[in-house]
Structure 1
Amino acid sequence: MKNQYINREKIFAVAPMIDWTDRHCRFLHRQLSSHALLFTEMIVADAIIHGRQDKLLSHHDAENPVALQLGGSVPEKLAEATRIALDYNYNEININVGCPSDRVQSGTFGACLMREPETVARCVSAMKAATDLAVTVKCRIGVDDQNPEDVLPDFITRMIDAGADAIWVHARKAWLQGLSPKENREIPPLDYDLVYAMKAANPGTFIGINGGISDLEQAKTHLEHVDGVMLGRAAYHNTNILGDVDHVVYGAPSQEVDWQQLCQTMMAYAADYIATGGRLNHVTRHMVGLFQGFAGARRFRQILSSDATKPGAGPEIIEAAFAAIDFEATSLKAAG
């Protein structure tokens, strides 16, 4: 799949989240949805150029489709990182123009680049020249005292002119001073209508929306106005959501998640990872959000949070945690 945006189909994505959407997280998410677009954590272009590329970029083929999100503001470096990534079977290269954290700002990338659209446009052009894959942008509607109604249309036009295949918009401003990254996800007001207007003004460009979306009903509503919808922490903390994505968004036949198969798959995956020197909790920390609302979910979380962190913990901890879930009681509760 060279460029999934050419087909003009609706897309559901799980947002890139630093320290969360690593390869173990993505492997789990892929077991629940065959079609959702998954994003890596943001990886800085310099780290790819000068660092341990296999460690940073390797991932399981089963995770695809996966978008690699890059951080940076130097076109030549982003192009080089893009070329390096071509050997690692990604489906898309995305540039981060939305993260407001201090460590991102200190590197002159992330949300602060909303003030430098011409720089971002040069980066996109350089990345496009380096690959046949889709090159996309994830941005905010503005930062600080910018007026989003003025800033966002100009920014999007520049991205389109630079060759961006898709633009994912977090529908909030980012305040670069005075708010933490967590507060930047919650305090600035959402402006979904502005993102809708951007889609209406650019019918030939894929526009996706992100920010404050907590369930698939909300996602369906957004997809009446834009091309894609992206969930972040809602999908991470309540991972069960992903089990309905293929049916609700992509029209696949409705089917229940085979939880026992999922248990066996994650045990085998964890065993393989441990055999390479990894620790069980690197895998299981992403599983804690499973089974929200299920009978036995609290015990499930306790087992993963305590036992999986112990030295020498093995895949049998996953089996023990799944055994704590009362699927029959949960089904009866749902039916009643």
Structure 2
Amino acid sequence: MQALIDETQQEFRELADDIAASIGIANPSDIDGADPLAGWSTLQSAGLLELRERTDGAPLAGGVEIALLSQALGAALSPAPYLAGGALAVDLISRSGDTGAWLPGLLAGTDHYSLLLDAGLDALGGTGGENGVLWGASRESGFALTVLRDDDGGTFVARRPIAGARRLDSISLTNELWEPAGDGEWERGGRVSPEDLDRFTALALTGLAADTAGTLRAALAGVVEYSKQRIAYGVHIGSFQAVQHIAAEAHVAIEAIAAAVNYAAWSVDELDAGEALLAARTAKAVAARNGRPTAEAVMQLYGGIGQTWEHIAHFYTRRAIFDSVLFGGEEAQLRAIADARLGGE
């Protein structure tokens, strides 16, 4: 792989940064009454919902572009559920061949999808079709999307309408979880292979790790600027060696996540499914290990104001913690890597 993104990808990153900033959260007060789907038309009109649509067997854009966009949305604290309801939903439906013609409504921005996760939030919930937790913005409507199993052991995508979903408390103020209501009948879509599911999971893990990297980079950039302005004992706090050391350690931790994400993002479509999943699990493990302590270090650098609900610092911390939990945290990823490498069950 190339260590650096190419010119086209750099242009895409700049576009993603601009779009994310336009639909993000700049101040804690912005979240009050904010509609997570308010920015959906912006994402749709920019063609970003189509990135994982497969034409001639290949997606329009690779994992690198999804990672760049996820980093931008994380940095902007965007509440729009792009990763769940956009990239991952489109990827999964497209891999199934879209036998039910679900994609047109999704890509047009009129049909909204939430992923059904199991109660532990560490995988798609659906081998038995039981209720789990919805990740995304259901607005008490739209569709729940998951994967179900055939009697013969095969798997297929399935959806059912969401009616009367109840919003759950979430540690993240910019990501939503919902409890589905009722036991509506599942509409069957196309089949997906084990390889498809591995690549889908790799994309999910990479996207979440990328979101963490973007979130932490923005958090650190904010406190660095603050340290240039805040004066204590007659000097800027950025001149204190203790502050410099904490900031430097945070920077190293963030770049470790970003490096793992870069490789995982390239791997999603370029390596075989098993190796792509291992790369994604590695990136997610690194992100989960470094996410919370790095975000909390940023809060510490702000001093007392960083601990208040009225400050943006805790939004970054909450988002990093939320990202670390979804699809399994550090321990879950390391166990899965060990099983794959050592042949465990």
TM-score range for the pair, normalised by the shorter chain length: under 0.3
Name the structure with the higher helix share.
Answer: 2
TM-score between both structures, scaled by the size of structure 1: 0.23
Q: Which has the higher contact order (CA 8 A, sep 6+)?
A: 2
